[in-house]
């Protein structure tokens, strides 16, 4: 497996510089310049890329030492984006809003999934096996009004709360035909539920949490308020301000979906968007396309996101064939990825996307 991947990699190296140019969004000069830089070249022009980056994302640094440090991190991330591009040729990698952060800083501030590997052995209810023969070839809950606009978790490891509200927003829509944006801040402030099969793992605001424990919390608390009644602040320093009289959506039940991409699709179509855990290592440099890296650990599930749909044919410049993919709603604002969305290829549990899948139902009210 490793050796065939290596052979494939080397045979692709010669092709990759060509395809990078076509895969790159030509209207974005930063990205074109960065990804078309030859790997290993002197970082001539890195200064210019950094200025463009600062302007594009409104970056300001408090002093010169900080500025210089961030520039060095930026250069390392440009090299990393080029490595990711080689490992993940069906996506486009380059400069993102996170290009001045080290991998550790990125993990700490923008991820926040307290995952467990043997998720399926955790005594949670399992979703019934659904028929899969009549599944549509393409499906997208955004086309059916079940998905709220992209949100932004800011510099807080609260991804789990966005994945939770996203799934419940969809389930609530299915139950009521009403799309209501729900409060992550209530979960950040009030949900301290622990995973009974892993007592060290408790939902803890900006320090991470888990979607299934958040559903447990919502069952106990009675429900969740609207976003507008309990707005997001991006910190976990406040106290819990949950007001039961303002409950806008209630969990009826939830379950864990088996590691089977057809069952995932069937549950998505039947129950609405699915909460999933994912290894986010390629997401720091992701610009667009279908991410399908040759090597991505299925074990380090460190980010909670929402599958809102799937497609049968994505853009795959190198392999010259269509790739099936999942459409993933992220919580890093619209400036990240494809207007806030990520596409990851379907069918191989890439980056562990099949390993921690849950589905929720809402009470009709």
Ligand X SMILES: *[C@@H]1O[C@H](CO)[C@@H](O)[C@H](O)[C@H]1NC(C)=O
Binding site for ligand X (CB under 6 A): 127-128, 253-255, 271, 359-361
- Using DSSP's 3-state secondary structure scheme, residue 342 falls into strand
Spatial distance between the Cα atoms of 291 and 62, rounded to a whole number of angstroms: 35
What's the rounded Cα separation, in Å, for the pair 70 and 100? 5
Neighbouring-strand partners of residue 193: none
Annotated catalytic residue: which of 49, 271, 303, 345? 303
Residue 222 — left, alpha, or beta (φ > 0 → left; ψ -120 to 50 → alpha)? left
Which residue is at the shortest CB distance from ligand X?
Answer: 255
Which residue number, 29 or 125, has a Cβ lying nearer to ligand X? 125
Active site residue 303: yes
202 flagged as catalytic: no
H helical segments located in the chain: 2-23, 29-36, 46-57, 64-87, 103-110, 159-176, 184-190, 211-221, 261-271
Query: Angle 211-221/159-176 helices, nearest 10 degrees?
Result: 60
**Least distance to ligand X, CB of residue 141, Å:** 15
Q: Answer whether 25's CB lies under 8 Å from 92's CB.
A: yes
- Please, how many CA atoms are within 13 Å of residue 221, restricted to the half-sphere of its CB? 28
Name the residue among 320, 318, 299, 313 with its Cα closest to residue 347.
Answer: 313
CB nearer ligand X, residue 81 or residue 127: 127
Q: How far is the CB of 254 from ligand X (least distance, A)?
A: 5
Output 280 or 360, the one with its CB closest to ligand X.
360
User: Please, what is the minimum distance in Å from the beta carbon of residue 251 to ligand X?
Assistant: 9
Q: Is 159 noted as a catalytic residue in this protein?
A: yes
Considering the complex, state which of residue 284 and residue 359 has its C-beta at the smaller distance from ligand X.
359
Q: How far is the CB of 166 from ligand X (least distance, A)?
A: 14
Distance in Å, CB of 353 to ligand X, minimum: 19
With tokens 């999942």, the residue in question is 326
Shortest Å distance, C-beta 126 to ligand X: 9
Query: Of these residues, 159, 206, 292, 296, which one is catalytic?
Result: 159
Give the integer Cα–Cα distance in Å for 60 and 63: 9
**Cβ pair 296, 282 in contact under 8 A:** yes
Q: For residues 341 and 156, what is the distance between their CA atoms, to the nearest angstrom?
A: 19
Cα-Cα-Cα-Cα dihedral sign, residues 270, 177, 141, 146:
negative
Q: Apex CA 189: angle with CA 112 and CA 331, to 5°?
A: 40
Q: Which residues are catalytic?
A: 159, 303, 330
């Amino acid at each position: 497996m490793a050796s065939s991947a290596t052979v494939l990699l080397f045979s692709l190296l010669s092709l990759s510089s060509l395809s990078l140019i076509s895969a790159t969004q030509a209207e974005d000069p930063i990205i074109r310049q960065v990804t078309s830089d030859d790997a290993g070249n002197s970082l001539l022009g890195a200064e210019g890329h950094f200025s463009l980056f600062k302007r594009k994302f409104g970056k300001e640094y408090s002093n010169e030492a900080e500025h210089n440090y961030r520039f060095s991190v930026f250069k390392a991330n440009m090299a990393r984006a080029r490595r990711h591009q080689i490992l993940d040729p069906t996506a486009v990698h380059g400069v993102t809003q996170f290009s001045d952060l080290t991998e550790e800083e990125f993990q700490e501030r923008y991820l926040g999934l307290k995952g467990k590997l043997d998720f399926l052995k955790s005594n949670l209810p399992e979703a019934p096996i659904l028929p899969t023969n009549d599944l549509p070839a393409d499906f997208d809950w955004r086309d059916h009004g079940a998905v709220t606009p992209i949100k932004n978790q800011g510099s807080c490891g609260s991804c789990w709360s966005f994945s939770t509200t996203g799934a419940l927003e969809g389930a609530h829509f299915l139950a009521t035909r009403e799309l209501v944006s729900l409060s992550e801040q209530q979960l950040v402030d009030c949900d301290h539920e622990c995973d009974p099969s892993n007592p060290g793992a408790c939902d803890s605001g900006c320090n991470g949490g888990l979607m299934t424990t958040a559903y447990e919390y919502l069952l106990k608390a009675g429900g969740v308020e609207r976003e507008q009644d309990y707005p997001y602040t991006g910190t976990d320093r406040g106290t819990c301000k949950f007001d039961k009289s303002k409950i806008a959506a209630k969990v009826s039940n939830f379950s864990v979906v088996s590691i089977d991409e057809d069952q995932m699709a069937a549950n998505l179509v039947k129950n609405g968007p699915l909460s999933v855990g994912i290894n986010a290592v390629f997401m720091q440099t992701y610009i667009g396309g279908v991410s399908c890296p040759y090597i991505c650990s299925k074990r380090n599930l460190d980010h909670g996101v929402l599958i809102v749909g799937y497609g049968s044919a994505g853009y795959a410049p190198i392999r010259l064939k269509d790739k099936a993919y999942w459409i993933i709603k992220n919580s890093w604002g619209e400036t990240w990825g494809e207007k806030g969305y990520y596409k990851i290829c379907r069918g191989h549990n890439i980056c562990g996307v099949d390993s921690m899948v849950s589905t929720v139902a809402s009470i009709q009210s």
